[in-house]
Amino acid sequence: MLSSEDDIQLLIGGCLKNDRKAQEHLYKRYYQAMMTFCARYSKDRNDALEVLNDTFLKIFKRIGQYDPAKASLYTWMRKIAINTTIDFLRKQQVVHDMDVMLLEEEDPGIENAAIQKMSGEELLKMIRQLPVATRLVFNLYTIDGFNHREIAAMMEISEGTSRWHLSEARRQLKIIIHLMETNP
């Protein structure tokens, strides 16, 4: 019986040979994780599917560049998904440096109790209400753990702009939560 790591290496080997069955298995194995990731960054399911499919095309084309000594396959694939998402949003001309200066104001906090009462679908729906660039920064920082320097480099914006988008996301989410609590 093969270990999970052996199974992954066999799938990678098959993908390197353009074996359609291996590509299909890799796709099925990582579909849910990658779709969940893409959905967080997209305004709707159609955009998420487009980004997901573009991501897998890039994965299949670049599978020979994967180095297991540097990262797990999932981490490598996630990085491709992030870059594909940013490219997708750039094509829609929604990610650009707005030269926004972070004002010296208190960062609006979000009530943890309110968030804990929500389902994952409700949270996703709330996050999707944010403007695209703000949503992207919020996801990269809050969910995926990137710092502002990394986000700025990925999105080709300043660190201050990244900080502003995060602050703006928190401010808008706080308003959305308040509206949901007062108008159930």
pLDDT value, residue 118: 63
Any idea which architecture 112-182 has in CATH? Orthogonal Bundle (1.10)
Question: Between 50 and 42, whose confidence is greater?
Answer: 50
pLDDT value of position 42: 84
Q: Can you give the pLDDT at residue 110?
A: 52
Query: For residues 116 and 44, which has the higher predicted lDDT (pLDDT)?
Result: 44
Residue 2 pLDDT more than 70? Answer: no
Cα radius of gyration (the chain): 19
Q: Are 159 and 152 in contact (CB under 8 A)?
A: yes
- pLDDT band at residue 19, thresholds of 50, 70 and 90? very high
Domain covering 4-91 in this structure, CATH number: 1.10.1740.10
State what percent of residues in the chain have pLDDT above 70.
83
Say what the pLDDT of residue 184 is.
63
pLDDT tens, residue by residue, 133-157: 899 999 999 988 999 999 999 988 9
What distances in angstroms separate CA 126 from CA 61, 140, 176, one per listed residue?
35, 16, 7
Q: Where in the chain is the domain with CATH 1.10.10.10?
A: 112-182
Would you state the pLDDT for residue 107?
A: 44
Distance CA 103, CA 30 (A): 41
Query: To 5 degrees, how large is the angle CA 114–CA 85–CA 71?
Result: 90
- Counting Cα atoms < 13 Å in the Cβ hemisphere of 180 gives 15
Q: Are 182 and 154 in contact (CB under 8 A)?
A: no
**Two tokens at 134?**
């703000």
| pTM score of the predicted model | 0.70
CATH 1.10.1740.10 intervals, the chain: 4-91
State pLDDT tens for residues 70-121: 999 999 999 999 999 888 888 876 544 343 333 333 444 554 555 555 667 7
Q: Which residue has the higher pLDDT, 60 or 127?
A: 60
Task: Give CA separation, 71 vs 65, 95, 139, 180, 183, in Å.
Answer: 12, 28, 21, 41, 46
pLDDT of 17 strictly over 60: yes
Q: How far apart are CA 48 and CA 25, in angstroms?
A: 20
Handedness of CA 34, 39, 40, 41 (dihedral sign): positive
Mean residue pLDDT of the chain comes to: 83
Residue 147 backbone zone (phi > 0: left; psi -120 to 50: alpha; other: beta)? beta
Beta carbons of 103 and 117 less than 8 angstroms apart: no
